[in-house]
Structure 1
Amino acid sequence: MRIDIVFDTVCPWCLVGKLRLGQALAMRPGVAVDLRYHPFLLNPDMPEEGSDRSVYLERKFGGPHRARRVLEAVALAGREAGVTFNFDAIRRMPSSVGSHQLLQVAWAVGAVEPTLDAVFRAFFQEGRDIGERAELERIARSVGLPEAVVAEEFERASGAAEVKSANARAHAMGINGVPSFIFNDSYAIAGAQEPDVLLRLIDLALETEVRDPVTVM
């Protein structure tokens, strides 16, 4: 089964959604899954150097009180899914373009899952600025990505443009919020849904596979 996941690395609900999807898939251990991750930019106009986190939150949510309530809800969902968010450690809201470029390298060498986990951990639990190239290079080394390939990706003039193009394609498909999950190109759902909801979509996609087998030419 192919599952396409549209997400952003600075989206806490995307981490919750990833964990919940893992819980749902654990209930179908015999299903072979091909996970494909696609970039989405929650803040497409974020400058390359990022922004002060507190200023960003106040602008996004209309004040510190509402921002605190939203983060408390995310933190609760995170604990239930198995992750502890350390929002107080985050001082900068980064541009996520570079982290998506890093994940393109990880995909090419078959290491996207550990790399994505490391990016999420660095930002949401350690408060590191994943908009900085040096931080991304440290993450790359920690998961064994080839340094030369990582450096080449960050030097490519078209690298950032490709991430932004992927974001534009997601919007053109009608995806305006993340995480979004697409099962076998047939069924889609947005949001960090509970595992039982995702499981129903998985089962529905599996039933469609049986009823309507696809012939690959």
Structure 2
Amino acid sequence: MSTVKPLQIDIVSDVVCPWCYIGKRRIENALALVPDVPVHVNWRPFFLNPWIPREGIDRSTYLETKFGSVEAYKGIAGRVVDAAEQEGLTYRPDSVKRQPNTIDCHRLIHWAEASGKSAEVKQRLMELYFRDGGDLTQSETLVQAAADVGLDADDIRKRLATDEDVELISGNAKEAADKGISGVPTFVFAGKYAVSGAQDAEKLARAIRQVSAEVNAEAAE
């Protein structure tokens, strides 16, 4: 009896990207629509704002630099807030006071892979940031996220104080950029088909089913 080969899905995203927050929920909903298709999901790092220093910057300064003014972003944010709400998510732009560099967040997500908890850690970091206005530049905020999903807080605290995997994460993010990924989230199916943007769950589900069928047809040849 032949077995169905799991479809590899690489999700390139950043924890401070609101459309990545929405896209994560949509890919989860898409997977729920195709429960018969086995998949293996990998969370890949991307730096939405690679120019931000490790210590982060004031949120107002960030919005002025990127969007021209705080008011200009408010005009954009309304649509994102509504889209998040439609997915059962909460985004409170005014609660965010500090814009972080996200390399430590990506290190934490990478470390959580060993326990099969990458998705849970990513979700918790996004909730802390978008919903609660948590300061992701503070290692204790990341330690809290880790502890909330059942990881060893003391272990994570010690590892965050080192440069462990900084080079690895930076290299992975550069690899994504070198491959032409400039907008996130980007969903890469079977290492060769990329879908960019927080697409609807139905569209993602169709892509999952189609690519899985193709991969398994090739494997059977």
TM-score by length of 2: 0.91
Shift in Å at residue 152 of structure 1?
4.2
1:99 counterpart = 2:105: yes
> Alignment RMSD, CA only?
1.6
User: How far is the alpha carbon of 1:107 from its aligned partner?
Assistant: 0.8
Secondary structure of the 1:107 match is: helix
2:4 is matched with which residue? none
Instruction: Give the structure 1 partner of residue 116 of structure 2.
Output: 110
Residues 1:75 and 2:81 are matched in the alignment? yes
Whole-Å separation in 1 of the counterparts to 2:179 and 2:61 = 31
Shift, 1:37, TM fit: 0.4
Matched, 1:161 2:167: yes
2-structure distance, mates of 1:105, 1:158: 10
Q: What is aligned with 1:3?
A: 9
Calculate percent identity across the aligned residue pairs: 33
Q: How does 1:191-206 map to 2 (within 5 A)?
A: 191-206=197-212
Taking a change above 3 Å as real, the CA distance of residues 128 and 214 of structure 1, as seen in their structure-2 partners, is: farther
Residue ranges of structure 1 left out of the alignment (5+ in a row) = none
2:194 is aligned, of 157, 179, 188, to: 188
> TM-score, normalised to structure 1's length?
0.93
**Is 1:213 aligned with 2:194?**
no
Distance in 1 separating the partners of 2:14 and 2:71? 24
SS of equivalent to 1:181? strand
Letter in 1 for 2:70: P
d(CA) in 2 for partners of 1:58, 1:200: 39
User: What's 2:33 paired with?
Assistant: 27
CA distance in 2, matches of 1:214, 1:56: 51
Q: Could you tell me which residue of structure 2 aligns to residue 55 of structure 1?
A: 61
Displacement of 1:214 after TM fit? 7.0
Where does residue 20 of structure 2 map in the other structure?
Answer: 14
Distance in 1, Cα, partners of 2:216 & 2:74: 46
Size of the alignment, in residue pairs? 215
